[in-house]
Chains A and B, each alone.
Chain A
C-alpha cells in the first residue's frame, strides 16, 4: 500500500472507533473542532519545519503529490487521525473513571447509612 492508501484506511478505522466502538462521538462535538483548529495551526508549523528542512523525506511514488506547507496532504489525514484517536481514548478513559468514581461515592454513602 502507498502512504495515501494507508492514511485513508487508518482515518476510516479511527472514525469507526470514535463513532461506533467507543461511541465517544468526538467528531460530532464543537469542543473537538475548536481544539483541532488550534492543533492544526501548530501541526502545519511543526510539519513545515520537519519537511521543509528535510528532517523527513517522502518517496514521491508513495504520495498523491500536492503539498501544504512543504508537507504532503496525507500528513493532514495522519494528524487528524492521530488527534481523533487520542481524544476519543481520552474521553473514554475519563468517562469510565469519572462514572466509576461517582458510583464509588454512592456506594460508600449507602453502605455507611445502613450501619
Chain B
C-alpha cells in the first residue's frame, strides 16, 4: 500500500469502531465537545513525547510507507492524526463496555443516555429516579 500504509491503518481504526456509535449508540461522537476536551491532555503529552523521541533519535518513520509530509519538529502528519484517532477509539471502547455491562465508570450517566441503553442499567436508572423524586 506504499505511502498510504500508515494512513490506511488510521482509517481502519475509525471504520472498525464506527458501529459502536452507529449501531450500539454509545453517543461518543454525539458528545463531540466533551470528546475534544478530553483528548487535549493526551494530545499535548504524547505529541510532546513524540517530538522529544524524534529529536533524541529514539525512533524514526519510513518515508515510503507514510505520506512523507513532515510537520514542524519532523513529526509525520499521520502520527499527529494517530493521537486523535486512537484516543477516540479508546473512548468508544470504554463507552461500549459501559453501555453493555452497565458498570460504573466514575461519572453520572447523562439523562438522555437511558433511552437506548442495553443494561445501562436498571440500577442506574433506579438511582436516577430516586434522585428525581428526592428533588
Contact = CB atoms under 8 A, between A and B. Distances in A.
Given A55-B62, A55-B66, A62-B59, A31 B39 contact: no
Given A95-B106, A102-B108, A109 B58 contact: no
Given A38-B97, A94-B107, A95-B106, A89 B13 contact: no
Contact of B106 (A29, A78, A102): A29
Contacts of A49: 5, 9
A73 interface: no
Contacts of B39: 86, 89
A32 B89 contact: no
A86 B5 contact: no
Contact of A93 (B37, B60, B90): B37
A3 B59 contact: yes
Contact of A42 (B45, B52, B89, B97): B89
Q: What band does the interface of chain A fall in when counting residues whose beta carbon is under 8 Å from B?
A: 35 or more
B6 A55 contact: yes
Contact of A82 (B6, B37, B46, B104): B46
Interface footprint category on B: 35 or more
Identify whether the interface residues of A are mostly helix, strand, loop, or mixed.
helix
B90 A87 contact: yes
A103 to B, nearest CB: 11
Contacts of B91: 86-87, 90
Given A83-B90, A90-B94, A58 B42 contact: no
A95 to B, nearest CB: 4
A31 B103 contact: yes
B93 interface: yes
Contacts of B53: 3, 6, 62
Interface string A89-111: 11111110111011000100100
Given A31-B98, A93-B38, A94-B31, 5 more contacts: A38-B93, A46-B9, A50-B9, A87-B90, A94-B38
Interface of B: 5-6, 9, 12-13, 16, 31, 34-35, 37-42, 45-46, 49, 52-53, 56-62, 65-66, 83, 86-87, 89-91, 93-94, 96-98, 101, 103-111, 131, 135
6 contacts: A1-B56, A3-B58, A87-B90, A90-B91, A93-B37, A109-B135
